[in-house]
């Protein structure tokens, strides 16, 4: 049977263009921070799990291999996971498996992405499409997401104004986050005035390209209890992936993320959560675009299906709301270094521990959920963390 | 541990088939179909799908996402994509089944090398792209012939090894002749001897055309289930008794040339898990990475196959031959079958599993109950994975 797994430390770093640093330096920084946070030495770590979405961003094949010395993983088992944006949560799930299956007791999970090395992230993203059928259409991330956003807004009767409110909330929340790249004090009108990238997605609906890394340390139950009196447990994990052919998905509708509902259901079933909107205290939801936060809130059951507009209108997801979402600023405010979106999990941990500083929400947080979206726009990974 | 993990389905497509006419999605589809047929399962039974491929080798970003539809992973509960050698998907699949014993997990890897340019310069560029960019890459760009970067780097390793171990070029040729001979054993073709190997083109001394494996296309899919689940299927299960993997230094300037420390460490984990104390006696046969002939010997040494004897004397006495006491690469290895970079590790596992089941035609080893599969990450990385499979 699966063993219980706890989070015992996180390593943070400011998201920024780190032109003068190498991948090794970024990884070293967060690995050391995580060890300090967990009061551990590098010798204590049994194995390392890397997460990085796209090697072409930093131009190094197997970029994790160059950072093995820096990661505490030298002469230890290391494994690298890569599921695009969802790397952010699928990598800690792989780390969870390392501990839960009984192979290792202390696992360092490091996610990093160095996007500043290439001239255009979109040029890199254009190489992900099928070269025979899809690439000739000329899609890139904003266009693909524009299609998805249109389908979503149409299906549930939501508005661009509601999307803009998410941007105002997240960028505003990032003002209290010391690791954030792009905190901004905005108004809804200012977001609505920003130029369209691909209708209905506007510049201020997107998240910024950046460099960054995050680390978390996972421990088996007996080790976690030695390290801390009140561990933060991984209570549920879930993954779901639809067909890579976005025109061939089962439900024929880009507006409803069946795969995200599947991932959330698994994670909640495992955690024994029946009514997420009532039982979840805090959520860090993957928000590379504003409408994605809304879609993910619905898929995670934080609001009824189609109710994400009302959720933001009523202020439920504000920092001081009844179910705060992305009080750290999310990807919109903190920056979006694809794989290092594991920051979502780190902030859940910090909120539960009460160590989120100025981002701490004014309520008790016992159970939190985070998710990440990626793959070929068809993969979702969900993790529920909390105290006993 | 109460529950064990076993392999119940094996599907392989290799370059002996007409792979030029297949896309990498086709390759993987056929491999998966064969594995499902082998296990007597259908797509609806699949609970999880894990693949391992490298973006740069595939020529696209997020290359591993493309495998999802081919391996039946759509809308299934478990799903992971590794940027690692194929054997790592076995490790991830093992963990997945241990955590959720009800799961039928498909692990797969694919490589279509024939899409790269035929003169091999494309692969050399990939080697350069794998190097650390600030200190190592500029030095390597001064290699005069752009087609020889890999062999120059491998030759440094080989020379250090020959120097340390006192092995000769003739012994390297013997390894290549053994593995190539193992493949064409039954065909009506003359087998090249060591002297023919030594006549092949010298790429960078002592690396020759026939002592280094050539690139090839391949796809491999294995189906993993728990022991309890396996009892409900018709196929004889092959048990995963031990796994271990390890990463060493990939930085050229500080790596130790001529050693296979990462293999030694990975093996010690796997042996510990499998309860193996004396590998040279307890392992019946092995499939070991022979990317270059010298690496096979290096790996045999690191895996503890030689006991107190030198690897050279073991080779000369025929210990590693097809009919020897511990046959190594009886399938032909990478030198004989071609090296589908990133997939060959999983194919090694498939070869071992097949032989344990004795489904592989021509092998009639009375003692083939515990086999070892090994994979090495290749120049310039220093990673290794070891899996020990058994009949029980």
> For A17-51, what is each residue's pLDDT tens digit?
999 999 999 999 999 999 999 999 999 999 999 99
Q: Quickly count: other Cβ atoms within 10 Å of residue B22's Cβ.
A: 18
Helix (H) or strand (E) holding B312: helix B311-316
Q: What is the largest CA-CA distance in chain B?
A: 60
Q: Which pLDDT belongs to residue B114?
A: 87
Q: How far is A31 from chain B (nearest CA, A)?
A: 17
Q: Which pLDDT belongs to residue A134?
A: 85
A82 contacts A51 by C-beta, under 8 angstroms: yes
B124 contacts B228 by C-beta, under 8 angstroms: no
pLDDT over 90, % of chain A: 84
The three-state (H, E, C) secondary structure of A117-166, written as one string: CCCCHHHHHHHHCCCCCCHHHCCCHHHHHHHHHHHHHHHHCCCHHHHHHH
Q: How far is A388 from chain B (nearest CA, A)?
A: 20
Per-residue confidence band for A265, with pLDDT thresholds at 50, 70 and 90: very high
B144-153 contact pairs (CB < 8 A, 24+): B146/B121, B147/B119, B147/B120, B147/B121, B148/B124, B148/B203, B148/B204, B149/B124, B150/B123, B150/B124, B150/B379, B151/B203, B151/B204, B151/B207, B151/B212, B152/B204, B153/B127, B153/B252, B153/B379, B153/B380
**Residues B275 and B382 placed together within one structural domain of the fold:** yes
Q: How far is A194 from chain B (nearest CA, A)?
A: 30
Compute the distance between CA of residue B67 and CA of residue B53 in angstroms, rounded to an integer: 9
Compute the distance between CA of residue A249 and CA of residue A371 in angstroms, rounded to an integer: 21
Per-residue pLDDT tens over the stretch B312-321:
999 999 999 9
Q: Which of B59, B62, B66, B246 to mutate to test the interface with A (most CBs of A within 10 A)?
A: B62
Compute the distance between CA of residue A319 and CA of residue A313 in angstroms, rounded to an integer: 14
Interface of A with B in 122-151 (CB under 8 A): 124-125, 127-128, 130-131
B86 contacts B345 by C-beta, under 8 angstroms: yes
Query: Which residues from B are below 8 Å from A243, CB to CB?
Result: 68-69, 74
In the predicted structure, residue A310 carries a pLDDT above the cut 70: yes
Does a structural domain hold residue B142? no
Interstrand relation of B48-52 and B105-111 (parallel, antiparallel or unpaired): parallel
Q: Quickly count: other Cβ atoms within 10 Å of residue A25's Cβ.
A: 13
Q: What is the largest CA-CA distance in chain A?
A: 57
Taking Cα atoms as reference points, which of B391, B364, B283 lies closest to residue B328? B283
Q: Which pLDDT belongs to residue B118?
A: 75
Are the beta carbons of B75 and A262 separated by less than 8 Å? Answer: yes
In the predicted structure, residue A285 carries a pLDDT above the cut 70: yes
Compute the distance between CA of residue B225 and CA of residue B164 in angstroms, rounded to an integer: 44
**Residues B70 and B154 placed together within one structural domain of the fold:** no
Compute the distance between CA of residue A209 and CA of residue A340 in angstroms, rounded to an integer: 12
B79 contacts A240 by C-beta, under 8 angstroms: yes
Query: Which residues from A are below 8 Å from B95, CB to CB?
Result: 94, 97-98, 100-101, 103
φ and ψ at residue A385, rounded to 5 degrees: -125, 155
Tokens of B351: 């070869």
Does a structural domain hold residue B136? no
**Residues B176 and B288 placed together within one structural domain of the fold:** yes
**Residues B223 and B266 placed together within one structural domain of the fold:** no
Which among B60, B65, B250 has CB closest to A65? B250
Give the structural domain span for B369. 147-213+238-392
Q: Which of A25, A52, A62, A259 to mutate to test the interface with B (most CBs of B within 10 A)?
A: A62
**Residues B108 and B160 placed together within one structural domain of the fold:** no
A386 contacts A235 by C-beta, under 8 angstroms: yes
Does a structural domain hold residue B172? yes
Helix (H) or strand (E) holding B110: strand B105-111
Compute the distance between CA of residue A111 and CA of residue A216 in angstroms, rounded to an integer: 9
Residue in A closest to B265 by C-alpha = A75
Interface of A with B in 326-345 (CB under 8 A): none
Q: What is the tally of structural domains in chain B?
A: 2
Mark out the alpha helices in chain A (DSSP H runs): 23-38, 63-66, 87-100, 121-125, 141-156, 160-173, 188-193, 221-227, 258-271, 276-279, 290-299, 308-313, 330-334, 343-353
Q: Which pLDDT belongs to residue B361?
A: 47
A242 touches chain B (CB under 8 A): yes
**Residues B171 and B262 placed together within one structural domain of the fold:** yes
**Residues B178 and B279 placed together within one structural domain of the fold:** yes
**Residues B41 and B187 placed together within one structural domain of the fold:** no
- Cα–Cα distance list, A96 to A89, B137, B371 (Å): 11, 35, 29
Does a structural domain hold residue B124? no
Q: Which pLDDT belongs to residue B364?
A: 52
Q: How far is A237 from chain B (nearest CA, A)?
A: 10
Give the SS3 label for residue A374.
strand
Cross-strand bridge partners of residue A367:
A386
Q: Which pLDDT belongs to residue B168?
A: 95
Does a structural domain hold residue B66? yes
Taking Cα atoms as reference points, which of A344, A347, A385 lies closest to residue A367? A385
**Residues B67 and B10 placed together within one structural domain of the fold:** yes
Compute the distance between CA of residue B351 and CA of residue B260 in angstroms, rounded to an integer: 23
Query: Which residues from A are below 8 Å from B84, CB to CB?
Result: 79-80
Query: Which residues from A are below 8 Å from B274, CB to CB?
Result: none
Residue in A closest to B55 by C-alpha = A55
**Residues B341 and B383 placed together within one structural domain of the fold:** yes
Does a structural domain hold residue B251? yes
- Cα–Cα distance list, B36 to A199, B41, B177, B222 (Å): 44, 5, 35, 9
- Location of structure tokens 């919109």: A332
**Residues B165 and B311 placed together within one structural domain of the fold:** yes
Does a structural domain hold residue B94? yes
Which among B61, B88, B266 has CB closest to A56? B61
Q: Quickly count: other Cβ atoms within 10 Å of residue B144's Cβ.
A: 6
Domain boundary among B177, B205, B230: B230
Are the beta carbons of A82 and B62 separated by less than 8 Å? Answer: yes
Domain with residue B53: its CATH number is 3.40.47.10
Compute the distance between CA of residue B344 and CA of residue B109 in angstroms, rounded to an integer: 9
Q: Encode burial over A1-19: b for 16+ CB neighbours within 10 A, e otherwise.
A: ebebbbbbbbbbbbbbbbe
A95 touches chain B (CB under 8 A): no
Are the beta carbons of B62 and A128 separated by less than 8 Å? Answer: yes
pLDDT, mean over chain A? 94
Q: How far is A191 from chain B (nearest CA, A)?
A: 31
Q: Which pLDDT belongs to residue B186?
A: 60
Does a structural domain hold residue B294? yes
Domain boundary among B230, B257, B276: B230
Which among A65, A101, A242 has CB closest to B381? A65
- Cα–Cα distance list, B392 to A67, B5, B275, B294, B370 (Å): 39, 11, 13, 33, 9
Q: What angle do CA B346, B351, B355 make, to 5 degrees?
A: 150
pLDDT, mean over chain B? 90
Query: Which residues from B are below 8 Å from A55, CB to CB?
Result: 55-56, 61, 83
**Crossing angle between the packed helical segments A290-299 and A258-271, to the nearest 10 degrees:** 50
Q: Which pLDDT belongs to residue B253?
A: 86
Compute the distance between CA of residue A24 and CA of residue A28 in angstroms, rounded to an integer: 6
* Lowest-confidence pick of A89-103, A133-147, A198-212, B342-356: A133-147
Residues in chain B predicted with pLDDT less than 70, given as ranges, are: 1-2, 185-187, 359-366
- Cα–Cα distance list, B251 to A298, B132, B133, B248 (Å): 46, 7, 10, 9
Which domains are seen in chain A, by residue range? 5-119+210-227 (3.40.47.10)
Compute the distance between CA of residue B179 and CA of residue B314 in angstroms, rounded to an integer: 15
- Which whole number is the average pLDDT over A203-214? 95
**Residues B308 and B196 placed together within one structural domain of the fold:** yes
Compute the distance between CA of residue B110 and CA of residue B58 in angstroms, rounded to an integer: 9
Interstrand relation of A47-51 and A78-81 (parallel, antiparallel or unpaired): parallel
């Amino acid at each position: 049977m699966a063993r219980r797994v706890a989070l015992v430390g996180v390593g943070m770093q400011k998201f920024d263009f780190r032109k003068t640093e190498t991948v090794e330096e970024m990884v070293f920084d967060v690995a050391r921070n995580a060890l300090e946070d967990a009061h551990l030495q590098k010798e204590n770590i049994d194995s390392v799990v890397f997460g990085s979405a796209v090697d072409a961003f930093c131009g190094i094949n197997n970029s994790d291999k160059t950072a093995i010395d820096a990661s505490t993983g030298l002469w230890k088992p290391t494994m690298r996971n890569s599921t695009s944006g969802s790397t952010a949560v699928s990598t800690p799930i792989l780390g969870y498996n390392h501990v839960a299956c009984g192979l290792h007791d202390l696992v360092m999970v490091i996610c990093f992405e160095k996007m500043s090395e290439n001239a255009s992230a979109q040029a890199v993203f254009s190489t992900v499409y099928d070269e025979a059928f899809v690439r000739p259409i000329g899609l890139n991330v904003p266009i693909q997401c524009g299609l998805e956003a249109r389908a979503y807004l149409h299906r549930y009767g939501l508005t661009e104004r509601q999307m803009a409110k998410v941007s105002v909330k997240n960028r505003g929340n990032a003002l209290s986050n010391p690791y954030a790249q792009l905190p901004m004090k905005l108004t809804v009108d200012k977001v609505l005035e920003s130029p369209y990238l691909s209708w209905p997605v506007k510049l201020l609906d997107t998240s910024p390209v950046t460099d960054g890394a995050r680390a978390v340390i996972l421990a088996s139950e007996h080790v976690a209890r030695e390290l801390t009196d009140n561990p933060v447990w991984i209570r549920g994990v879930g993954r779901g992936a639809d067909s890579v052919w976005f025109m061939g998905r089962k439900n024929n509708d880009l507006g409803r993320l069946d795969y995200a509902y599947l991932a959330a259901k698994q994670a909640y079933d495992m955690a024994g959560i029946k009514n997420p909107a009532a039982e979840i205290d805090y959520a860090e939801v993957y928000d590379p675009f504003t409408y994605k936060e809304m879609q993910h809130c619905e898929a995670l059951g934080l609001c009824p299906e189609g109710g994400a507009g009302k959720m933001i209108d009523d202020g439920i997801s504000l920092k001081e709301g009844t179910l705060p979402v992305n009080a750290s600023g999310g990807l919109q405010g903190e920056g979006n270094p694809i794989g290092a979106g594991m920051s979502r999990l780190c902030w859940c941990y910090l909120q539960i521990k009460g160590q989120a500083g100025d981002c701490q929400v004014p309520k008790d947080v016992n159970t939190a959920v985070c998710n990440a979206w990626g793959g070929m726009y068809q993969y979702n990974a969900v993790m529920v963390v909390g105290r006993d | 541990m109460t529950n064990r993990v076993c392999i119940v389905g094996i599907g392989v497509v290799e370059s002996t088939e007409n792979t030029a006419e297949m896309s990498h999605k086709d390759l993987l589809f056929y491999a998966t179909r064969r594995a499902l047929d082998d296990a007597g399962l259908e797509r609806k039974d699949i609970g999880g799908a894990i693949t391992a491929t490298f973006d740069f080798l595939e020529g696209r970003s997020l290359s591993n996402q493309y495998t999802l539809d081919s391996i039946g992973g759509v809308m299934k509960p478990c799903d992971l994509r590794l940027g690692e050698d194929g054997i790592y998907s076995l490790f991830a699949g093992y963990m997945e089944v241990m955590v959720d014993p009800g799961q039928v997990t498909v692990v797969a890897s694919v490589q279509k090398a024939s899409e790269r340019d035929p003169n091999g310069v494309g692969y050399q560029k990939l080697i350069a792209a794998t190097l650390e960019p600030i200190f190592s890459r500029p030095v390597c760009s001064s290699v005069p012939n752009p087609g020889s970067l890999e062999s120059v780097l491998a030759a440094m390793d080989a020379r250090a090894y020959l120097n340390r171990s006192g092995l000769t070029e003739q012994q390297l040729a013997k390894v290549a002749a053994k593995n190539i001979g193992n493949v064409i054993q039954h065909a009506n073709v003359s087998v090249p001897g060591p002297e023919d190997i030594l006549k092949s083109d010298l790429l960078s001394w002592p690396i020759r055309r026939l002592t280094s494996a050539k690139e090839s296309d391949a796809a491999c899919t294995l189906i993993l289930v728990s022991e309890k689940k396996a009892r409900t299927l018709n196929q004889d299960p092959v048990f995963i008794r031990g796994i271990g993997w390890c990463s060493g230094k990939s930085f050229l300037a500080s790596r130790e040339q001529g050693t296979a420390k990462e293999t030694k460490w990975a093996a010690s984990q796997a042996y510990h898990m499998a309860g193996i104390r004396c590998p040279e006696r307890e392992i019946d046969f092995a499939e070991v990475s022979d990317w270059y002939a010298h690496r096979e010997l290096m790996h045999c040494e690191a895996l503890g196959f030689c006991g107190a004897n030198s690897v050279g004397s073991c080779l000369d006495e025929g210990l590693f031959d097809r009919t020897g006491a511990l046959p190594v690469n009886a399938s032909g290895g990478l030198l004989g079958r071609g090296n589908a970079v990133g997939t060959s590790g999983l194919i090694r596992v498939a070869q071992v599993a097949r032989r344990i089941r004795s489904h592989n035609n021509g092998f009639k080893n009375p003692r083939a109950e515990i086999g070892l599969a090994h994979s090495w990450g290749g120049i310039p990385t220093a990673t290794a994975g070891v899996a020990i499979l058994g009949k029980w």
